[in-house]
């Protein structure tokens, strides 16, 4: 592979979400990684499934250091799929984040609204009702 490029060490040490997006853009760019550039949503599915399984295993083992790493791998899959979608003009990671933010607020009226719920069971019932209502509107 080519020599070290300026900024590589800064990106390697970064903890910023924006830099993760930048790294993925570099990998998918013209001079990026040939393997990454050939991936599609379908080819990435097996990796997403694998990483989710590894998260579950880390949780079952109470292996917090490994959980941290595996959650990063799941986040990478979300970023990768979002970058591919953005390049195809479908949606971006900002759209993904906006959608989940809106969903969390919508499905928690007992926190963000005036609905009063006091037990986890009540919350689950409300969540399911809201989810069903949303699916009917699609």
Q: Residue 30: which CATH number?
A: 1.10.287.1080
The answer as to whether 115 is a domain residue is no
Assigned domain for 124 exists: no
Tell me the per-residue pLDDT of 89-101, one tens digit each, with 9 for 90 and over. Answer: 999 999 999 999 9
For residue 133, being part of any structural domain is answered with no
Q: What is the pTM of this model?
A: 0.86
Is residue 106 one of the residues assigned to a domain? no
Domain total in the chain: 1
What's the chain's Rg over C-alpha atoms?
A: 19
Does 122 map to a domain?
A: no
Q: Tell me if 105 is assigned to some domain.
A: no
- Asked if the structure places residue 15 within a domain, the reply is yes
pLDDT at position 74, please? 98
* Residue 11 to residue 46: CA distance in whole angstroms: 27
Q: What is the pLDDT of residue 7?
A: 62
Residue labelled with tokens 């928690």: 108
What per-residue confidence (pLDDT) applies to 1? 46
Segments forming the whole domain that contains residue 64: 8-91
What is the pLDDT, as a whole number, of residue 4? 54
Numbers of helices and strands, H then E, in the chain: 8, 0
Q: Is residue 123 part of a domain?
A: no
pLDDT of residue 10: 85
Confidence of residue 8 (pLDDT cuts 50, 70, 90): confident
Q: What is the largest CA-CA distance in the chain?
A: 60
């Amino acid at each position: 592979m080519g020599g070290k490029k300026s900024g590589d060490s800064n990106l390697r040490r970064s903890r910023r979400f924006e830099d993760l997006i930048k790294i993925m853009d570099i990998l998918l760019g013209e001079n990026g990684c040939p393997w990454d550039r050939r991936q599609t949503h379908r080819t990435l599915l097996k990796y997403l499934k694998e990483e989710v399984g590894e998260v579950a295993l880390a949780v079952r083992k109470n292996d917090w250091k490994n959980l941290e790493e595996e959650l990063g791998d799941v986040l990478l899959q979300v970023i990768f799929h979002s970058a591919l979608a953005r390049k195809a003009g479908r949606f971006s990671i900002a759209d993904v984040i906006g959608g989940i933010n809106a969903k969390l607020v919508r499905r928690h009226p007992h926190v963000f609204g005036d609905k009063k719920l006091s037990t986890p069971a009540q919350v689950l019932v409300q969540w399911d009702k809201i989810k069903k209502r949303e699916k009917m509107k699609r």
